[in-house]
Structure 1
Amino acid sequence: MSPYEVYGALGSPYSMKVRAAMRAKRLVHTWTGMTAEDRLAILPNVRAPVIPVIRRPDGSWTNDSTPFLLSIEDEGVSLLPTDPVARFACLLLEDMADEWFMKAMFHYRWAYAADAEWCANWLMFDTLPNTGRTGVEDAAATIRERQTGRMALVGCTPETAPLIEASWKRACRLLEAMATGKTRFLFGDRISLADLGFYGQLKVMSVDPTPMAWLRQDTPYLYRWLDHADDASGIEGEWLDALSAPVQALLGLAGDTYLPFLGANEHAIGSGEETFSLEIENGRYAQGVFKYQLKCLAALRSEWSALSAPERDRLATWIGPNASLLSAKI
């Protein structure tokens, strides 16, 4: 059988997530860090020009990391806990990592001058091999200008910066508690989809100057944990019988921030608005609406509805009052 082919970039959190997942699942695959030339050949195979792009053994193509990994959950090593409560917690935390935690990745990468210069140069070095230093840095200036111009679209502004940083640091401290706790990963001694969601964002942040310095100073064992998550192909272990304290606290964070964020986005789209705002993390957050995040909320609601009433009640204890958003209908 042909291997899975993963085409991505070292600076892409979702590429890192998928590469680490394929390793953890022990599935035969190849990895290609795409150059500009590779992109011309690979991106036309998918509808949206975003990475990573995956070619399945049957020849079909896809590039949405979460649906892809869920579609191959039965292949290789499982990434979802078997207990329904833990499974839902895993899915919610992975979704939060992809859609909310990533705000910090984008913010830190382009809000600080040193980070923006470093990251743009690094990204272009990977994309334009054999171009020479001048060619790389000239191209980097263009992408730096483009990305900084997109910041407000995704909610990364000077006004939201303190809120985004505070929420990210809150999550990182909880992940540090996991890394220094009784198990190697969030749901036991085996890696989960949620671990990989956080890993993907943190992996690229671990080399970006400003977040790297904070991680090494304030959450040094989480920083080191990233190397364990990067290749968990040989790590054996079992799922926990109950949710750990860090997972319970992360669910509380999701209830405080991520679910209200999804709810506000849904309400704005339903009202025909182009932007939305809400009060979270002791600040006011605002951005443009995203239809993709309606799909995220719908998927979570579908999983929520499949749980028994006692299971939902247990989760709501940790998520808090905003668990009610999971029962609402679009």
Structure 2
Amino acid sequence: MSGYEVYGALGSPYSLKVRAAMRAKRLRHSWTGMTGEERAVVMPNVKAQVIPVIRRPDGSWTNDSTPFLLSIEHEGRALVPQDPALRFVCLLLEDMADEWFMKAMFHYRWFYEADQEWCANWLMYDSMPNAGREKVEQNAAVIRARQISRMALVGCTPETAPLIEASWKRSCLALQEMALGPARYLFGDRASLADLAFYGQLKVMSYDPTPMAWQREAVPYLYRWLDHADDASGAGGDWMDRNTALASPAITQLLAQAGDTYLPFLLANAKAIEAEAETFSLSIEGGRYEQGVFKYQVKCLAGLREEWQRLDETTRAGLARIIGPGADILG
């Protein structure tokens, strides 16, 4: 082997995130959109049955997108700014995209009937492209029912639907500020880990009927930006300086949302797990949100707190002014 092997799916936001990251880093790699037969061979190599799955050049396997990409940050072009403040912001926003922004992807995909049918058929076709229409659609009905049954577990219910949609649109409007310049990406003229995390979620939603229609009408330049982020291998450029980046509308708006929505969400989950509860709820984005607890998100909060403590007091104070009261959760 002389490069990385990435096994994923075109309907998986984390698969597209990793593929775009490998392109942006200019690392030698191959991409395989797995069929059912390939999954049977690839998935036994990893403990957690989630995609994408990556085979390293040394023959070892891994599949959690964030730890994997951070582990190869020293290879190829960096995806995380070196400035300590911007590094923290990048990691916080990447985490928010992966763990909160994704709620909208799951909600839109399985809440509306047109999206349910489109997405289920699309996902199953990718998994079994040679099976014929009848078999694809039979299996699509199964995955559609299974995914709909999981919606409440991840907080996607009729009660939380307005909140999730409003929160997603808020983020998209902030991201369009970035798409319109003066820089091409959140932290300058080169793609960051945070850019690619948002890209992965938005790219699959750019095909799903309901969110696609809204994006094209309300944030058309962000919609077009997705193709710029898809392959940034040829895009050069530098990171912004700290003051310029932290003053940009996209960064300030997204950090404010992290402070009043994402960090309280992580804290409520952590407190619920500590209390041995099965669910938790909190008021965010103008509504009441509830979901089942997730141990992985406790790890996310711990990681952000660790990164926060690495910053000097002056840097923390400056970021806290932008994040708002929610920054206390990091302390």
Partner Cα distance (2:121, 2:128) in 1: 10
CA distance in 1, matches of 2:306, 2:147: 34
- Quote the offset at 1:82 in angstroms: 1.3
The structural deviation recorded for 1:181 is 2.2
**Counterparts of 1:49 and 1:263, CA distance in 2:** 26
TM-score normalised by structure 1 residue count: 0.98
Moved over 2 A (4+): none
Aligned amino acid, residue 214 of structure 2 = W
Corresponding residue number in structure 2 for 1:322: 326
1:268-287 matches, cutoff 5 A: 268-287=272-291
What residue in structure 2 maps to residue 98 of structure 1?
98
Task: State yes or no: 1:239 paired with 2:243.
Answer: no
| Shift, 1:246, TM fit | 1.1
Q: Deviations over 1:223-266 (max 9, x none)?
A: 00000000000000111113222101100000010000000000
Letter of the 1:80 partner, please give it. Answer: V
Q: Which residue of 2 aligns with 1:49?
A: 49
- The amino acid across from 1:218 in the alignment is A
**Residues 89-116 of structure 1, C-alpha deviations (whole Å, 9 max, x = no match):** 0000000000000000000000000000
Separation in 2, partners of 1:301, 1:255: 13
Give yes or no for the alignment of 1:67 onto 2:75.
Answer: no
Distance, in Å, in 2 between the alignment partners of 1:311 and 1:303 is 12
Q: Does 1:217 align with 2:221?
A: no
TM-score, structure 2 normalization? 0.98
Other-structure match for 2:187: 187
Residues in 1 aligned to 2:192 and 2:317: alpha-carbon distance in whole angstroms: 23
Specify the SS of the correspondent of 2:81.
Answer: coil
Report the secondary structure of 1:240's partner residue: coil
**What residue in structure 2 maps to residue 260 of structure 1?**
264
**Cα distance in 2 between the residues matched to 1:39 and 1:246:** 38
Deviation track 1:151-197 (CA, whole Å, cap 9, x = no partner) reads: 00000000000000000000000001110121100000110000000
Q: Give the 3-state SS of the residue equivalent to 2:24 in structure 1.
A: helix
Amino acid at match of 2:319: L
Which amino acid in 2 is paired with 1:262? Answer: L
**CA positional deviation for 1:306:** 0.3
Q: Distance in 2 between matches of 1:139 and 1:60?
A: 32
Q: Calculate percent identity across the aligned residue pairs.
A: 72
Structure 1 counterpart of 2:49, one-letter code: P
Q: Give how far 1:2 is off.
A: 1.7
Q: Give the letter aligned to residue 56 of structure 1.
A: R
Question: SS where residue 153 of structure 2 aligns?
Answer: helix
Aligned partner of 2:309 among 300, 305, 327 = 305
Matches within 5 A, 1:49-198: 49-198=49-198
Q: Which residue of 2 aligns with 1:206?
A: 206
- Computed over aligned residues only, the root mean square deviation of the Cα atoms, in angstroms, reads 0.6
User: What CA distance in whole angstroms lies between the structure 2 residues aligned with 1:181 and 1:160?
Assistant: 33
* Gaps in structure 2 of 5+ consecutive residues: none
